[in-house]
Homo-oligomer: A and B are copies of this chain.
Amino acid sequence: ANQTDRVVMANSKYEYVKDFERPDPLLPNTWVIIRIDGHGFHRFSKVHEFEKPNDARALNLMNAAAKAVMSELSDVVMAYGDSDEYSFLLSKLCSLYDRRESKLITTFASLFTSYYLYYWSDHFPTPKPLYPPSFDGRAVLYPSDQNLRDYFSWRQADCHINNLYNTTNWALILKGGMTERDAERELMGSRAADKHEILFSRFGINYNNEPEMYKKGTVMVREPVKDEENGDAPSLLQEHGATMGEPERPKSNRQLKKEAKKQAKKEERQVKTVVRVYHCDVIRDEFWDARPWILDDED
């Protein structure tokens, strides 16, 4: 036997190390939120001179990356983002990657990052950032529709609170000429009404007229389209024959027949869909009532 046969034998001897991998399936029939968070974006936004309190280019880039992720991964039902974070909702019945947690969260973090860089030059005047940004991610499970709605309400309320603070804070600094420290002191303990008042009386800003994207964040929903309309165009990966699904394994004839049948059935009932982008309220009932298919995913 030569060197490589010894290697093959050795390899079977080493393969026991695979037993140290732990299975990590997420609980079935539960809403899955995958939230992506920018790492050190306080610094990243400074180095790249993001406008304060909001940089439309940076937010649009986040949205472009998120929309692309939704296009590639059709299991994503809805997404919500603001600042340097994005939450993706997977259906309760989603079985992507057999619901393996590690596989899911790393894939979302990686694909989002990849699109963020890929589309950078569409939004900023340089071909790439000064250093590569990164995002972490996590999965959180929500058993009930109410829990899920409360999750999105939590993120949107958070967006609102932060944006009012930031808008006032940066008005004091940029328009009022205060130091960062003085602005912080001025706002300490202030209530919402106080901030509205500061904005209006000192700077003539009516907070209610601020752009919806800043006040409400960005909501993306996969929506069915009517017969005469077009669904979403193929995604960038699909255009090149690639896909985010499971890698292909060789299949038996029987499997292939079975799948062809299944596919035909699926296409029959399949509705063309399109990802639509909003900057609307997701706390009140209107949003959900108008899109019953989001929560109608009963088992």
Residues in A lying within 8 Å of B, measured CB to CB: 1-5, 7-8, 10-11, 13-23, 25, 27-30, 39-40, 42-44, 47, 68, 92, 101-103, 105-107, 109-118, 121, 127-128, 130-144, 146-147, 150-151, 153-154, 157-158, 160-161, 164, 191-193, 195-196, 236-237, 239-244, 247, 283, 298-299
Contact = CB atoms under 8 A, between A and B. Distances in A.
A118 B136 contact: no
29 contacts: A4-B160, A4-B193, A7-B192, A8-B157, A10-B283, A11-B158, A14-B150, A14-B157, A17-B142, A20-B142, A23-B25, A27-B27, A30-B143, A39-B107, A40-B242, A40-B243, A40-B247, A43-B240, A102-B105, A102-B137, A102-B138, A105-B106, A107-B136, A111-B113, A117-B118, A117-B128, A118-B128, A118-B131, A132-B237
Contacts of A105: 102, 105-106
Contacts of A28: 19-20, 143
A114 B136 CA distance: 12
A137 B11 contact: no
B137 A111 contact: no
Contacts of A133: 114
B160 A7 contact: yes
The residue among A42, A131, A299 with the most chain B CB atoms within 10 A of its own CB is: A131
B39 A244 contact: yes
Contacts of A164: 4
Nearest to A30: B143
A111 B17 CA distance: 26
Interface of chain A, main secondary structure: helix
A40 B106 CA distance: 14
Contact of A150 (B17, B25, B131): B17
Contacts of A298: 144, 146
Contacts of A3: 192
Contact of A136 (B7, B103, B157): B103
Contacts of A13: 150
B11 A240 contact: no
A236 B131 contact: yes
Contacts of A236: 131-132
A10 B157 contact: yes
A123 B191 CA distance: 54
A134 B114 contact: yes
A23 B161 CA distance: 27
